[in-house]
Amino acid sequence: MNRLPVAERREQLIEAALAVASRDGIDAATVRAIAAEAGVSLGVVHYCFQDKDELLRAMAHAITTANLERSLGEALAEAQTAESVIERALDALWTGIRESRGPQLLSYELTTSSLRHPELNQVAIEQYRGQWAAAEHVLELVERSAQVSWSVPRGALARTVVAMIDGYSLAWLVDGDSEAALSGLQRIGRYLATVTVPAPVADTAATPA
């Protein structure tokens, strides 16, 4: 077995855990199965992660990070108006969701599984804190790209966006209706455009002596 730095080994194990859980479900993602998937000993998994709770939190974080990266891409850099920035970001997010059904289903499994097991309770809490923070980050980048601000607090808006995206994503996992899911995300975009306001112009006038 090649010796890897702990950070790289953790990434390898997270990828293995996501592969097992996406393919076979969260209950199948035992430490033994993850070790076998990664081709390492059980001791390596225990060395890199204190317990399964820590590994599940890392898995949830990886899914959130992947969704964030998809929603950004080059969309924000290329778009100009608030409407186009939001549209590109949501289109990119939807493409990522559609192409990663397993991880998206796994994200809901992580939530419900952790809520049913008190020892894993922090997984769901950290999962949603990460999603809210990611959504708020995207909203902040929209502000910068389109020179706008929001008529409602950014933090509250981020939670609303996550709730709506969650709803459409879960419905798509249930019925497979991609057209309805994309249409729903586009409605989110139109809603967001209605709560933008021009960013305040900085006062560059010299301060009187």
Residue of 106, 95, 82, 81 lying closest to 28 (CA atoms): 106
CB atoms within 10 A of CB 27: 10
CATH topology (fold) of 51-198: Tetracycline Repressor; domain 2 (1.10.357)
Percent of the chain with pLDDT over 70: 90
Q: What is the pLDDT of residues 46-56, one digit of tens each?
A: 999 988 888 88
Q: Which residue has the tokens 């000993």?
A: 41
The Cα-based distances of 186 to 72, 93, 111, 168 in angstroms read 16, 11, 26, 11
Question: For residue 91, which of 156, 158, 183, 23 has the smallest C-alpha distance?
Answer: 183
Note the pLDDT tens digit of each residue in 7-33. 899 999 999 999 998 888 888 888 999
Q: What would the mean pLDDT of 130-139 be, rounded to a whole number?
A: 89
CATH architecture for segment(s) 1-49: Orthogonal Bundle (1.10)
Tens digit of each residue's pLDDT (9 = 90 or more) over 85-113: 888 888 888 988 898 888 888 889 888 88
The mean-pLDDT minimum among 91-95, 116-120, 176-180 falls in 116-120
Tell me, what's the pLDDT at 65? Answer: 80
73-to-69, 84, 88, 113, 178 alpha-carbon distances in Å = 6, 14, 9, 31, 21
User: Is 178 a residue whose pLDDT tops 80?
Assistant: yes
Domain locations in the chain as residue ranges: 1-49, 51-198
- Name the band, by pLDDT with cuts 50, 70 and 90, for residue 161: very high
- Asked if 31 and 65 count as a contact pair (C-beta separation under 8 A), the reply is no
Longest dimension (CA), the chain: 72
119 near 53, Cβ under 8 Å? yes
pLDDT exceeds 80 at position 170: yes
Kindly list the distances between the CA atom of residue 24 and the CA atoms of 33, 60, 84, 114, in Å, as whole numbers in the listed order. 10, 16, 38, 17
C-alpha–C-alpha distance, residues 209 and 85, integer Å: 42
> Mean pLDDT over residues 153-180, rounded?
96
Nearest-angstrom CA–CA distance, 203 and 88: 31
- Tell me the pTM: 0.78
